[in-house]
Amino acid sequence: MNFDSLGLTKSELAILRRLNTPIKIQNFIDDIPTNFELDGETNKSPRRTLRENKAHCLEGALLAALALWINGHKPLIMDMKSTDNDVDHVIAPFKINGYWGCVSKTNHATIRYRDPVYKTIRELAMSYFHEWFMDVDGTKTLRSFSEPYDLRKFKKNWITEEKDLWEISELLDSLKHFKVAPEKNIKMVRVADAMERKAGKIQEWGRDGKRL
């Protein structure tokens, strides 16, 4: 693959080529302040995310997928759906020696990077179940996950587009999703306890763009 044909500038490509391991990519993504969408909802391309230096989970996943692609992995994103009173989460999975891990942009202490130790996509998705809960009452909210989507299949420009990429959000919603468990089992799930909820309130970035 000739990545010079993607429309990236030499400086953009140089930045991404330096991120030659998933760990380096995650560290880079962590250092980007959280996009709280204070001026309205966005779904930015990797170019815009690099330039504006703010990202929410989908924007971080797109940038991570691009960096993974440039450094020898498939450019994958994966959707995980929550309950209606919580927000969904998007990650950038990668596979090493037959085991899955992922890069994850989040402002929370738990639903973050996953090391490549998960044999299946379900194992990877389920690693988020216990730690994904509402801070208010401890309700665990992960309900389903999609198969990874290969962005090489996406027909429109997702790398350097200046307009918001709402089509990718719609695409993720349209993918087949797999339930984490039957509803009768979900009804038996224990809420996160007070200690877990206390830890869950830790955040990385403030709305002023400074690390907390």
What's the confidence (pLDDT) of residue 142? 98
Question: How far is Cα 117 from Cα 152, in angstroms, rounded to an integer?
Answer: 25
What's the confidence (pLDDT) of residue 1? 80
What's the confidence (pLDDT) of residue 8? 96
Cβ–Cβ under 8 Å, residues 108 and 200 = yes
Q: What is the mean pLDDT of residues 48-75?
A: 98
- Inform me whether the pLDDT recorded for 4 exceeds 90: no
Cβ–Cβ under 8 Å, residues 24 and 18 = yes
What's the confidence (pLDDT) of residue 169? 96
Q: What is the mean pLDDT of residues 30-35?
A: 98
Question: How far is Cα 6 from Cα 133, in angstroms, rounded to an integer?
Answer: 38
34 SS3 class: strand
What's the confidence (pLDDT) of residue 46? 98
Question: How far is Cα 44 from Cα 62, in angstroms, rounded to an integer?
Answer: 9
What's the confidence (pLDDT) of residue 3? 83
Q: What is the DSSP letter of 111?
A: S
Q: What angle do CA 146, 66, 25 make, to 5 degrees?
A: 95
What's the confidence (pLDDT) of residue 2? 80
Instruction: State the fold for domain 3-200.
Output: C8orf32 fold (3.10.620)
Q: Where are the domains of the chain?
A: 3-200
At residue 47 the predicted structure's pLDDT band, cuts being 50, 70 and 90, is very high
Q: What is the mean pLDDT of residues 92-107?
A: 98
Count of positions (residues) in the chain:
212
DSSP H or E stretch at residue 121: helix 121-126
What is the number of H-type helices and E-type strands within the chain?
Answer: 8, 7
What's the confidence (pLDDT) of residue 5? 84
pLDDT in tens, 145-189: 999 999 999 999 999 999 999 999 999 999 999 999 999 999 999
At residue 108 the predicted structure's pLDDT band, cuts being 50, 70 and 90, is very high
- Inform me whether the pLDDT recorded for 94 exceeds 90: yes
Mean pLDDT for all residues in the chain: 97
Backbone angles phi, psi at 151, to 5 degrees: -65, -10
Question: How far is Cα 87 from Cα 58, in angstroms, rounded to an integer?
Answer: 12
Centroid of chain to Cα 40: 20
What's the confidence (pLDDT) of residue 39? 95
